Structure formats: structure tokens, C-alpha cells
Homo-oligomer: A and B are copies of this chain.
């Protein structure tokens, strides 16, 4: 049966001040609903709640359950601390496998924005059909539109397979974030796709790859799995999880997996990696201002305004990102949005933890 694993353990700072330690990006309503809620709703027509597993951190577990009332508490897997996606995927695979020895898992980042949801579900279903039939690990690739250095790339191989109306390629190579020159070459050569972070694999197949490639991680997860459903489940996770190797599925599994597939997808996709990326997703007014929340602007153009309450008033400014919450405000030119990291570092250095 098809299960969904929603990876909701993110804790970045790129959306400060909207995002906080206890309110990471996936809980923010960057477009309409909280991104996690949108991810849940998107897969729901294909996978019922009792086969959806949400992996999150202890700090956001309560907020996550509140956001997803359909989710039974035992479907929520809380990591005591984040140990990157290989641990997360393995943890969820064990949970799914306990309920369904034939579980095929669609692994979904909780904090992406995806359009054409019908198309999204169709391609997930096709991927699940392939994996159920032929096995292996399937990555979902997005056609690149620019020489982006922030994503991993998937090189399409020669071999093909069919699933439903889709042609699925063997994955020849998995390349982590390239430099600008290589990104440019990939774009020019063709045959490379962006790694969307979405995967389909069987729970058993993923765990087999972990055993082979990351034996220490696999052993730790077996201890956790053995305790599942027993009174010591929680204490075992608390004891074992923090010491699991910290590595991503991309580096730790996909780069050297035995049987790998990639499916090119056509649905609109964004990982919304920054405030400027959000600006691209919000319909702008006639002056090019993309606005979320109450705002007035005079003589101002091409700004992003994001407010979760305060009225933001702009006069005579261009190309700014202005973010306002009740207790913190950010003002930065769009082209320097990455400096929010410096801001967060400065707030930490000054002990302003109330707004972190």
C-alpha cells in the first residue's frame, strides 16, 4: 500500500522573523494555509490519514498535531533532535513497515509549494506503481530553468521503464549542489533535473540501503524499531536518536544506491528557499508589490511585504523585503536577503532569544 512520509523537521532561519525556533517554516502560512497543512491536504486524496506519517521535532510536535487534527498521535514521529533526512526517512520506514510489510512510501518535504495538485498525485501514483513492481529508489526531478547552485541535480540515464502514462528513467548520477560553472554546464547540456526532495521507495528497500550504506544509522534505527509499541518506545528514541549519524538521504543513500530511478515532473514546484523566492509565488499588484497581510504603499514598487498582523506602510521604496510580526520587523533589499542569517547570528550574540 502507498504511505506518505511528510518530513516536517525543518528549522531554518531564512524566514526570520516570521519563522522562529518554535514556529519553523513549515508551520507558516506563506501563501494561504501553513505549508505543512497544504502538503497534507495535497496527498490526502491519494493516501488516507492512517497511512500518513509525519516526522517532526519534539519542539513542534504539539503545533503539528493541532494543525493536522485528522492525524492520530501515533502517526506523528517526533525526533528529539533533527538528524537530517536519512535518519528521518529510516525512522518513518520502520514505523510504516510495522503496519504494512509491503509499504511503499512517498517522501514529501513539508515546506515546499506545489501547484497542479492533480498532476502531482498522478505522478506520485505512477512512481508508486513502478516501485511496487520493480523496486529501487525513485527521485522526482524538476526541469531546471536557471543555473541554480542551491539544488542537487539528477542526471537522466539511458534505461527506461513505464508506469501509467509516465516514462521513468534510470538515474545515472546524483550530483550535490554544483558551483556556478557546473550548474551552467548542466543547464546547457540538458539531461539534468533539479532534485525536488520528493522520493518514492519501499520501506523495506530504503532500510536495506541504510543497512548497506549506513550500518551505524541502520543499527540505531533497529533499536528504535524494536521498542516501537512497547513502554520503552519513547525512552529508546530519546536515548538512541541524538547519536544517529547526521547525513542526508541525498548524500548518504541516493549517491550510491543500487537501483535508482528518476521521473521528470511538470507540476509547478518551489522549495521557497528564501524571502525572494516567496515573492515569485505571490501575485504582485500593478506596482509589482507582492503583499501578504495588511499593507499600504505609496510610490513604492517591487517590494515583498509579509505581515502576520501589523499594518505595513511603505512610501517611496523599491525592491525591499519588509517582514513584520507583532514583536519583530525585518527590512532588507531583496538582493541581500541572505543577510537574514547575519541578523539571526547578531540576535543570538546579543541574547535576544525572545524573538528567535
| Chain B hits for A327, CB < 8 A | 309-311, 326
Closest residue of chain B to A346, judged by CB?
A: B296
| Chain B hits for A316, CB < 8 A | 332-333, 336, 339
Complex-state Cα separation, A320 to B330, whole angstroms? 13
Q: Which of A32-40, A248-256, A347-355 forms contacts with chain B?
A: A347-355
Contacting residue for A324 out of B294, B329, B355, CB 8 A = B329
Complex-state Cα separation, A17 to B311, whole angstroms? 10
Interface size on A, residues (CB 8 A): 38
Tell me if A313 is interfacial: C-beta within 8 Å of chain B: yes
A315 near B329: Cβ-Cβ < 8 Å: no
Tell me if A298 is interfacial: C-beta within 8 Å of chain B: yes
A17 near B339: Cβ-Cβ < 8 Å: no
Give the most central of A314, A316, A352: most B CB within 10 Å: A316
Closest residue of chain B to A299, judged by CB?
A: B339
Contacting residue for A322 out of B307, B331, B333, B346, CB 8 A = B331
Closest residue of chain B to A316, judged by CB?
A: B336
Chain B: minimal CB distance from A178 (Å):
27
Complex-state Cα separation, A350 to B294, whole angstroms? 11
Q: 1/0 per residue A266-285: CB within 8 Å of B?
A: 00000000000000000000
Residues of A near any B CB (own CB < 8 A): 16-17, 294, 296, 298-299, 307, 309-317, 320, 322, 324-333, 336, 339-340, 342-343, 346-347, 350, 352, 355
Some 9 contacts from A to B, beta carbons below 8 A apart, are A296-B343, A299-B339, A311-B327, A311-B355, A313-B332, A313-B343, A314-B331, A314-B332, A320-B331
If A310-B324, A311-B355, A313-B340 are given as contacts, then 7 extra A-B residue pairs at C-beta distance below 8 Å, sorted by A number, are A16-B313, A298-B339, A298-B343, A310-B327, A313-B328, A315-B343, A322-B331
